[in-house]
Amino acid sequence: MSSFLESVDKRTSLAGMNRMELLLFNIKGKQLFGINVFKVREVIRTPDISPVPKSDPRVVGVSDIRGHTMPIIDLAMALDLEPFPKERLSETLTIVTEFNSSVQGFLVEDVDRIIHLRWEDILPPPDSLMHVNYLTGITRAQNQIVEIVDVEKVLTEVSGTPAAMSDDFVQAHAAKAEGLKYFILAADDSTVARSQLKTAFEQLKIKHVIVNNGRKALELLKKWADEADEGLAEPVSKRVLMVISDIEMPEMDGYTLTSSIRKDDRLKDLYVILNSSLSGGFNEKLTEKVGANKFLSKWHAEELANEIVKRIESVQK
């Protein structure tokens, strides 16, 4: 199974072109689910698992994979499906993933194949389900619906909420945004990430707009630029402190959003941070290639907040 995902790290040519690769798999029955290949290290037969006392019930246990211990998560149970019986674990596969600065395995019934997609072919979940499900997107393959799992949300529920800003940090910097005419535009398809961003912005007392994909972010920026052209508002660069964008999102990824911003004379001077759970040096290289100002790994609240504070100080000079 490892050869199924051989040389995944070399597939970076798709990134930055609003394209991605999706690993399709089954959890229970015929329904197809998907995960971005860039989150996947390998697919293996489920190894021997050692139980962990008093762990989250969705964590089946831990396994030793080539000298590295990692938790094994029952993805069926995490999605409120019937959990895999212990006597059947040897029949399952484990998708070994790396994101959010951690490595973990997800139990699945079977792996189908990898497909190439454009991000515009992936639609966000219906608004009515935005806060109650575990999906970041929906697409079609093999004439059936594919549901893209919000594995970031699953991992957060299992391992706990990432560390927030300390009270000392908030007290030291919250007043800096008071009276600031600027606001932040953020785009992220993960409900967990949007909640984290909202909390950080509110703690720093800075105005903000948060959307769930890059296309919506770009549409808003162009709308605000049109208003400025008509004399109804100031230029966007005088209103938007920065754009903070996830990389992998339905309809338009963060790389394409950044490239589109740099190609529009009305938007090209905006400060753009790409904020992603994806690991790998290609992120930094593509950040530079598409013209973003900074790449940050997700779930480091104070690191992101520090960048916001520095940006506030720069516009106040």
User: How far is it, in rounded angstroms, from Cα 143 to Cα 104?
Assistant: 31
Type of residue numbered 83: P
Q: What is the pLDDT of residue 95?
A: 96
From first to last of the 317 residues of the chain, give the pLDDT tens digit.
Answer: 444 444 444 444 445 567 788 999 999 888 999 998 888 989 999 999 999 988 899 999 999 988 889 999 999 999 989 999 988 898 999 999 988 778 999 999 999 899 988 888 898 887 665 555 788 889 998 788 999 999 988 988 888 766 677 888 888 887 787 778 899 999 998 888 888 899 989 998 999 999 999 999 999 999 999 999 999 999 999 999 999 999 888 889 998 999 999 999 999 999 999 988 875 555 667 777 788 999 988 878 888 999 999 999 898 87
| Entry pTM | 0.82
For 99, the token pair is 């994101």
- Domain 167-316 in CATH 3.40.50.2300? The answer is yes
User: How far is it, in rounded angstroms, from Cα 149 to Cα 202?
Assistant: 28
Q: What is the pLDDT of residue 280?
A: 56
For β-strands 144-149 and 59-65, DSSP reports them as unpaired
Contacts of 294 (CB under 8 A, 6+ apart): 272, 273, 274, 287, 307
Domain boundaries, the chain: 2-159, 167-316
Q: What is the pLDDT of residue 4?
A: 47
CA dihedral 33, 193, 10, 27 (to 10 degrees): -20
- Topology of domain 2-159, per CATH? OB fold (Dihydrolipoamide Acetyltransferase, E2P) (2.40.50)
User: How far is it, in rounded angstroms, from Cα 90 to Cα 308?
Assistant: 48
Q: What is the pLDDT of residue 279?
A: 59
Q: What is the pLDDT of residue 311?
A: 93
> Do the Cβ atoms of 42 and 31 come closer than 8 Å?
no
